[in-house]
Amino acid sequence: MPSTKYIFVTGGVTSSLGKGIISASLAKLLQSRGYSVTIQKLDPYINVDPGTLNPYEHGECYVTEDGAETDLDLGHYERFLNMPTSQANNITTGRIYQSVIEKERRGDYLGETVQVIPHITDEIKYRIKLLASSGHYDFIITEIGGTVGDIESLPYIEAVRQMRWEMGNRCLVVHLTLIPYLAAAGELKSKPTQHSVKMLLEQGVQPDILVCRTERHLSENLKHKIALFCNVEPTSVIESIDTDTIYNVPVLMKAENLDKVVLRKMNMPENQETDLVKWEEFLYRFKNPNDEVTIGLIGKYAELKDAYKSISESFIHAASVHQCRVKVKMIHSEEIEPGNVKDVLKGLNGILVAPGFGERGIEGKITAIQYAREEKIPFLGICLGMQCAVIEFARNVLGFKDAHSTEMNPRTSHPVIDIMEAQKKISCKGGTMRLGAYPCEVVEGTKAFDIYGIKSISERHRHRYEFNNKYLEDFKKAGMIASGINPTDCLVEIMEIPSHPWFVGVQFHPEYKSTVARPHPVFVAFVKAALDNK
Ligand code: GLN
């Protein structure tokens, strides 16, 4: 669309300053003024997507409606904006090069030497503008992953420089930096920010706005000093102070006028006043709990807080609905054994077994599920967690002692979880799982139906294995039923135990669809069950 505006968010000094949250917060403010906004993340690594990265490398892999395996920042974008993102919202260097090399092999470059400039930068610019071509957006916010000065982010900064040069003030650069507090000097220090702006300038980009991450308030004097040395207006030096929840950041950015400065610099009207009423209600309920529950989150990455990001955020959304505090206790599945399960899971009001892949920690998960089932503790199993619930039931209720998923034991005599037919001939690992949104029919009269209140739902997926329908009758007779089924291929999407207070396993990932404006019904109901179980 000819009038779409482009906002670039770069980072300097260190990683982990929260570019994703700043991008999402700015987008939220512009959205609340009536503008349509989307956010895109450009990741400088060479993997085509983060689907092949393990959580130690990159935290959670977030899945979009259209089945893209993406950076976890896209989860923040969706949770803040309550709008779906897509494959076009996350581009990596791997994907850029893949497409340029494919074009070269097809002969599209007609004998030219294919180079970083212009071919790679053109491809980057094409991917940025592609989002605008839908004509839906007033603003596209593009977050550039990594830190200015990284070798691998050079082509991205160069693409930003070219777009600025080509489009003038239809483009704006917001640079996020750190203002460290030096205890020995008793002072906030601006030098690292000056250096990182110099680094951007060396690459031909003058930032328009500086968002300064800090643990202490910036004085007006310091803002002026930063403005002078970095060649920006003093009103364009925005303080981003540490805060206890990411959901405060839109409110803090509003107080700092980030959206107003952006609009003024881009010659755009302020439109209506920012409307954060619902957002602030959500925050109020979250920060003023009347009750508390503790949920055990059992997985093999318990020490990594980013590995289950969307699950933790979904609990925050559900907590606000019930105006209660949900304490999520991370429990390492490898630490759970039949001998200690009672002690390790003591005091939990609900148990969630996380998604995952591979053998490690699997027996601990199964042991925890047996405990939740027998002790009647509310249980939610997500993806692998649901598959483990099926395995546990097969072993301990149906008496199939070696029941397993063929992912872990291809020779089991009871493959209650088996590879999907369509997956059998696939050998490449990247982007080949059953990914993205699929429909599910919910059976009336079940807990699943109580949760959703409607028959036809759609949820997002990321798996290769499924419930083996040969066992459906055995399970039903013994008290575990399929309460959600894919209408076209009969794949079991939800399993539950009607005689248990709340025992639900889902093959899909409800956590990818929970937002501030629309907390996910599965989490809302699970937290309610945990409150009832106190
Ligand atoms: N490993 C299981 C499968 O591929 C579960 C995947 C998951 O939990 N996301 O089916």
With contact defined as beta carbons under 8 Å apart, do 42 and 279 qualify? no
- Ligand 1 atom at minimal distance to the Cα of residue 382: 8
Our answer on whether the CB atom of 465 is closer than 6 Å to any ligand 1 atom is yes
Our answer on whether the CB atom of 355 is closer than 6 Å to any ligand 1 atom is yes
Distance 498 CA to ligand 1 centre (A): 24
| Interatomic CA distance for residues 435 and 432, integer angstroms | 8
Our answer on whether the CB atom of 385 is closer than 6 Å to any ligand 1 atom is no
Distance 508 CA to ligand 1 centre (A): 9
| Interatomic CA distance for residues 66 and 70, integer angstroms | 11
For a pocket test of ligand 1, which of 464, 466, 468, 506 has the largest count of ligand atoms closer than 8 A to its C-beta?
A: 464
Lookup result for tokens 């920690």? 361
Q: Give the distance, in angstroms, between the CA of residue 122 and the centroid of all CA atoms in the same chain.
A: 28
Distance 397 CA to ligand 1 centre (A): 23
Dihedral of CA 20/21/27/28: which sign? positive
Dihedral of CA 500/506/509/510: which sign? negative
| Interatomic CA distance for residues 526 and 295, integer angstroms | 10
Query: Phi/psi at 479 (nearest 5 deg)?
Result: 110, 15
Q: How many CB atoms lie within 10 A of CB 146?
A: 21
Amino acid making up residue 25: S
- Ligand 1 atom at minimal distance to the Cα of residue 354: 8
| Interatomic CA distance for residues 425 and 370, integer angstroms | 34
With contact defined as beta carbons under 8 Å apart, do 297 and 352 qualify? yes
For a pocket test of ligand 1, which of 62, 387, 388 has the largest count of ligand atoms closer than 8 A to its C-beta?
A: 387
Give the pLDDT confidence score for residue 304 in this predicted structure. 86
Active site residue: 256, 407, 466, 511, which one?
511
Q: Using DSSP bridges, classify how beta strands 291-299 and 350-353 pair: parallel, antiparallel or unpaired.
A: parallel
pLDDT in single tens digits along all 534 residues of the chain: 468 999 999 999 999 899 999 999 999 999 999 999 999 999 999 999 999 998 888 899 999 999 999 999 999 999 999 999 999 999 999 999 999 999 999 999 999 999 999 999 999 999 999 999 888 899 999 999 999 999 999 999 999 999 999 999 999 999 999 999 999 999 999 999 999 999 999 999 999 999 999 999 999 999 999 999 999 999 999 999 999 999 999 999 999 999 999 999 999 999 899 999 999 999 999 999 999 999 999 999 988 889 999 999 999 999 999 999 999 999 999 999 999 999 999 999 999 999 999 999 999 999 999 999 999 999 999 999 999 999 999 999 999 999 999 999 999 999 999 999 999 999 888 999 999 999 999 999 999 999 999 999 999 999 999 999 999 999 999 999 999 999 999 999 999 999 999 999 999 999 999 999 999 999 999 999 999 998
| Interatomic CA distance for residues 293 and 299, integer angstroms | 19
> Omega of the bond prior to 207 within 30 degrees of 0, cis?
no
Lookup result for tokens 């957002």? 279
Distance 294 CA to ligand 1 centre (A): 25
| Cut 0.85: pTM above it | yes
Give the pLDDT confidence score for residue 57 in this predicted structure. 85
- Ligand 1 atom at minimal distance to the Cα of residue 385: 8
| Interatomic CA distance for residues 308 and 118, integer angstroms | 39
Residues 6+ positions from 479 with CB-CB distance below 8 Å: 397, 497, 498, 499
Distance 327 CA to ligand 1 centre (A): 26
Give the pLDDT confidence score for residue 2 in this predicted structure. 61
With contact defined as beta carbons under 8 Å apart, do 24 and 252 qualify? no
Is there a catalytic annotation at residue 509?
A: yes
- Ligand 1 atom at minimal distance to the Cα of residue 417: 10
Give the pLDDT confidence score for residue 493 in this predicted structure. 98
Is there a catalytic annotation at residue 511?
A: yes
Our answer on whether the CB atom of 462 is closer than 6 Å to any ligand 1 atom is yes
Question: What six digits make up the tokens of 429?
Answer: 């690992």
Give the pLDDT confidence score for residue 303 in this predicted structure. 86
Distance 365 CA to ligand 1 centre (A): 14
- Ligand 1 atom at minimal distance to the Cα of residue 355: 8
Residue nearest to atom 5 of ligand 1 (CA): 384
Distance 155 CA to ligand 1 centre (A): 35
